[in-house]
Amino acid sequence: MINSPKITFCSGVSTVTGANFIFESSKGKKIMIDCGLIQGEKVAMEENKKPFVYDLNSFEALVITHAHLDHVGRIPKLVKSGYKGPIYSTPETRELAELVLNDAAGILAEEAKRDGMEPIYDLNDVQAVFPLWKTVKYHEPLQLAEDVSITLKDAGHILGSSMVEITTDNSAKKILFTGDLGNSPAPLLCNTEIIGEIDYLVMESVYGNRNHESREGRAEKFREVILETMNRGGTLVIPTFSIDRTQILLYELNNLVEKNLVPRVPIFVDSPMAIRATEIYAGSKYLFNDKVREQINHGDDIFKFPRLEFTISKNESQDISRMNGAKIILAGSGMSVGGRVISHERHYLPDPKSTILLVGYQAAGSLGRELADGAKKVKIYGDIIKIKARIETLYGYSAHKDSDHLVEFVSTATDKLKKVFVVMGEPGAEMYLAQRINDELVVKAVVPREGETVELG
Ligand SMILES: [Zn+2]
């Protein structure tokens, strides 16, 4: 009997976090794709403590799509549990993952302490990961085993994010794992590459059943909020994610300031993690889209403009609120759960001259959501804080493709595409997207079950 290649959907099915898939070739060579943290109301849910169900020494390699915690967050546990094989990703994913995992170790330690438990892993476990981690650039084919090679393609989601194309069965079969798919066209990054000729597709579906708000007018609204707040002499506080969102906002601020479309007030990036992520972005300008690269080639340093300051130390951070007058503060976290932004919100929420600018989706249970929902007071560090500041929201900054664009993405595959496996979405989003692909593109699309193994005949 001739064996077929197989995929096992270990986790990251019917949920947006915990991506972890296994490809097995006809000759039994196994590759793991992503090893993400399972997240929910806590950064690390109890499920992450379960032992891995597979033999850790049966893999040729672990391949990582991108540096978000829900794709890399269990790697330290994997290595701690005995995985000794190579890890591969783009160079940028490796750099960002080091930042993300070191940060995660701190958060996991705090969560574990609160729960009176041991953390899943610590900083030493994070350090043990990187000697195994090798890098490969987009489009450089890499042979991982007899009859298994991979090529990374640009997913356009965050810096270095990739889709993993596996070639097997004497080059007769190709399988593409999307990781997360960027909301192209993005301000800084290149567009998601087209699929081309493949046989099977394993794709994300975070926004499988929703379309984004229009991006039209987004830049104008950003400018208006800045102008209004600056005219009042207030402070504009922007809670923002360290990776990608901060760099996009800095790029947009760079353009507004340098074209004199907003007054030249002090602008602070008050987050060590965002500052480091900005350095990594700045070091990989060759990956930006044509428009941004052209601007850079004309001499513009897009992450440097008059009165921009990066505040690393706690003292510098505390000095910001002692400064009178109009200013802008970007700080993490993006939904105001932890991070330095909380202190700034505590300080500026009672100030009628100031504005808190929420950028995009705020999850239920977060301080950001309470603000978005129009709370009149909130509790911060045990104190009741009355809200007198204006609360504004900017939409259109999602880093994921929406439902229409996910369908359009699948349509970039040739007729050779046999089947689509829809994963990494809430059950409703996965089912809806699978149905759309079936109906609109007449391509067979299914939602696998967690733990299921499917043969790619
Ligand atoms: Zn992601």
- List helix spans (H) across 91-199: 91-115, 123-127
What tokens appear for 413 in the block?
Answer: 């595959």
Q: Where are the domains of the chain?
A: 6-210+399-455, 218-394
Q: How far is CA 368 from CA 113, 291, 338, 426, 455, in A?
A: 24, 33, 11, 22, 44
**pLDDT reported for residue 46:** 87
pLDDT, tens digit (0-9, with 9 covering 90-100), for 363-418 = 888 999 999 999 999 999 999 999 999 999 998 899 999 999 999 999 999 999 99
What tokens appear for 445 in the block?
Answer: 């699309």
Q: How far is the CA of 161 from the centre of ligand 1 (A)?
A: 8
Q: How far is the CA of 157 from the centre of ligand 1 (A)?
A: 7
Among the listed residues 171, 162, 149, 120, the one whose alpha carbon sits nearest the alpha carbon of residue 60:
149
pTM of the model: 0.95
**pLDDT reported for residue 269:** 98
Q: How far is the CA of 72 from the centre of ligand 1 (A)?
A: 10
Q: How far is the CA of 50 from the centre of ligand 1 (A)?
A: 23
Q: What's the one-letter identity of residue 82?
A: G
Q: How far is the CA of 262 from the centre of ligand 1 (A)?
A: 32
Q: Contact 96/159 with Cβ under 8 angstroms?
A: yes
Phi/psi for 445 (5° steps) reads -130, 135
What is the chain's length? 457
Q: How far is the CA of 315 from the centre of ligand 1 (A)?
A: 32
pLDDT, tens digit (0-9, with 9 covering 90-100), for 39-51 = 887 777 889 999 9
Q: How far is the CA of 68 from the centre of ligand 1 (A)?
A: 5
**pLDDT reported for residue 385:** 97
Q: How far is the CA of 245 from the centre of ligand 1 (A)?
A: 12
pLDDT, tens digit (0-9, with 9 covering 90-100), for 296-324 = 999 999 999 999 999 999 999 999 999 99
Architecture of domain 218-394: 3-Layer(aba) Sandwich (3.40)
Q: Any residues with CB less than 8 A from the CB of 181 and at least 6 apart, and which?
A: 155, 156, 157, 163, 192, 203, 204, 400, 401, 405, 406, 409
Among the listed residues 153, 150, 147, the one whose alpha carbon sits nearest the alpha carbon of residue 32:
150
Whole-angstrom Cα distance, residue 391 to residue 371? Answer: 7
Q: Contact 157/377 with Cβ under 8 angstroms?
A: no
Q: How far is the CA of 170 from the centre of ligand 1 (A)?
A: 32
| Helices 403-410 and 427-441, packing angle to 10 deg | 50
Q: How far is the CA of 35 from the centre of ligand 1 (A)?
A: 12
Residues of the chain with pLDDT under 70: 1
Whole-angstrom Cα distance, residue 36 to residue 28? Answer: 24
Query: Is domain 6-210+399-455 in CATH 3.60.15.10, yes or no?
Result: yes
Whole-angstrom Cα distance, residue 404 to residue 102? Answer: 36
Q: Contact 264/305 with Cβ under 8 angstroms?
A: no
Whole-angstrom Cα distance, residue 260 to residue 257? Answer: 5
Q: Count of alpha carbons within 13 Å of 437, Cβ hemisphere only? A: 33
